[in-house]
Structure 1
Amino acid sequence: MNQDFQNFSQSLSNKNTSVRTHNRVLRNTYWLLALSMLPTVVGAWIGVRYGLMHFAAAPIIRAVGFLVVAFCIMSAIEKFKHSGVGVVLLLGFTFFMGIMLTPLLGHILGYVNGATLIMTAFGGTATIFGVMASIATVSKRDFSNMSKWLFVGVMLILISSVANIWLQLPALTLTVSTLAIAIFSAYILFDVQRVVNKGETNYITATLAIYLDLYNVFANLLSILGIFGGNRS
């Protein structure tokens, strides 16, 4: 009887420890996600203020350069995800991503209502995140089976975006942006639930995944707002 009670107590203690650890991962993910927005804003402001992305290079070269730098930093984040170095690298990455928003932000700010469009895109992205994160937290449905379809969707977006560098088709731009918003909104649902269901136990990599989802939703939503709501007069 005594042994059974001790076993039960130990099991209960282990379960409580697991719950506390999981809650800490989720809490740290949200805190780091909020913090990561600051370097993004600073990077975007510096990029627009000093025209850091206004250099002469073919679009495909800029695209390849971006992918190489982004994947190198993300690989380093993965390597150091269990230390404070990973946090520093993540914040440096979000600063870099803010700079990469410069061409889009510069284009949108060329409109009379550019600042309003940016704030609208920010509010829309925050709303999408709130809805998807809430569903991921309270829903009993398992969304992990979406991973293959979401990956296919991302590959389709990437291929179409590269093709449109040469095609320059407005209809394709709109289609890709709309699809990207849908895909990365679903990724928010998928990535948040991975943390909730303990599929992801590292808050640095969890933050990176959700940050990229939000970044893509914001950029593509802003692009669509610019197409339909931009006012140059």
Structure 2
Amino acid sequence: MENYNERRIVGNKEGINKFFAKTYAWMGLAVLVSGIFAFLTATVWSNQLANVYGSSFKSILMFVVLIGFSFAINHAAIKNPVLGFVLLMGFAAFMGFSLGSIFLVYSIGNIASAFIGSASIFGSMSLFGLLTKRDLTSVGTQVYAALIGVIVASVVNLFLRSSMIVLVISIITVIIFTLLTAYDTQKLKSMYNNSDEIGVSASSLAVIGAMDLYMDFLNLFINLLQILGIFGGDDN
């Protein structure tokens, strides 16, 4: 993970392309690592290991864990991008282990459909965030406020256990992370263009960006899968 001299070409199309190529590559690798560990958990390791999480592994717990690790990885990446990268891959492996039970709960068809749908939404919205001239700052503020409401509703539903509320929350969460994907992409572009002013290297920003985009993709996937599972009747 050698640093390349992005600061000489900040704001240049070549520099931005290199930065996002690295960011997307690391984000994609994190998704791949999660997928491998999820598959191994469900097929090679014991079912008891996967069932530690099982159907009780709620999206609210997933989100809390994601936020905690996000802060830790971002802090580490600022000081040492290599350490941040290692932590990101370790976190991706942990999340894959945690998600192994999806192969026991959901059909392969629904898992594949959720992945393809998430990839399509993520790709199109990230491209939009990269290319749009519109300032998405206000959008980010609004969706973060909506996310707080979703968290509160998810906590309440841990006691109500309503499948209808789960469905509504999942749909709203998909919308939130669809918008956040565009916002986070634009934010990363802005941070890269101002990397000299904020005093963070492009390699550090690439790790931070990979983590942010990984979180967006993972939340899209989990909630799309939950929606498909409810409609398909294979969600516990």
- With normalisation by structure 2, the TM-score equals 0.79
Specify the alignment match of 2:222 in structure 1: 219
Structural mapping, 1:78-227, within 5 Å: 78-81=74-77, 82-108=80-106, 114-198=107-191, 202-227=205-230
Give the match's secondary structure for 1:101: helix
1:77-113 Cα shifts (integer Å, max 9, x gaps): 12320321110100111111112223444211xxxxx
Contact 2:174 2:224 in 1 (8 A): yes
Query: Matches of 2:122 and 2:100 in 1, distance apart?
Result: 23
Q: Given the alignment, which residue of 38, 41, 61 partners 1:47?
A: 41
Measure how far apart 1:223 and its partner are: 0.8
Q: Distance in 1 between matches of 2:59 and 2:214?
A: 22
Unpaired runs of 5+ in structure 1? 1-13, 109-113
Kindly report the root-mean-square deviation, in angstroms, between the aligned alpha carbons of the 2 structures: 2.9
Partners of 2:58 and 2:131 in 1: how far apart?
A: 44
Name 2:27's counterpart in structure 1.
33
What are the Cα deviations for residues 140-181 of structure 1, in whole angstroms up to 9, with x where unaligned?
A: 111111122111111111111121111110110000000000
Q: What is the alpha-carbon distance in structure 1 between the residues aligned to residue 9 and residue 81 of structure 2?
A: 25
Aligned residue pairs total 213
Q: Distance in 2 between matches of 1:102 and 1:86?
A: 24
Aligned to 2:198: none
User: Which region of structure 1 is more displaced relative to structure 2, 71-80 or 25-34?
Assistant: 71-80
Go from structure 1 to structure 2 and tell me whether the alpha carbon gap of 1:71 and 1:182 turns closer, same or farther (over 3 Å shift).
closer
With over 3 angstroms needed to count, the CA separation of the structure-2 counterparts of 1:61 and 1:28, relative to structure 1, is closer
* Contact 1:154/1:183 (<8 A) preserved: yes
**Structure 1 residue 43 displacement after superposition:** 2.0
SS at match of 1:197: helix
Change (3 A) 1:178 1:141: same
**Would the aligned equivalents of 1:29 and 1:204 in 2 still touch at CA under 8 Å?**
yes
Counterpart residue identity of residue 91, structure 2: F
User: Greater CA radius of gyration, 1 or 2?
Assistant: 1
Does the alignment pair 1:22 with 2:16?
A: yes
Structure 2: distance between partners of 1:137 and 1:127: 15
1:17-64 C-alpha deviation (Å, 9 max, x unpaired): 55244333212101101111121012211332323242399x599966
Correspondence for 2:4? none
Displacement of 1:216 after TM fit?
0.6
**TM-score w.r.t. structure 1 length?**
0.80
Query: Do 1:25 and 1:195's aligned partners in 2 also have CA atoms closer than 8 Å?
Result: no
CA distance, structure 2, for counterparts of residue 78 and residue 177 of structure 1: 27
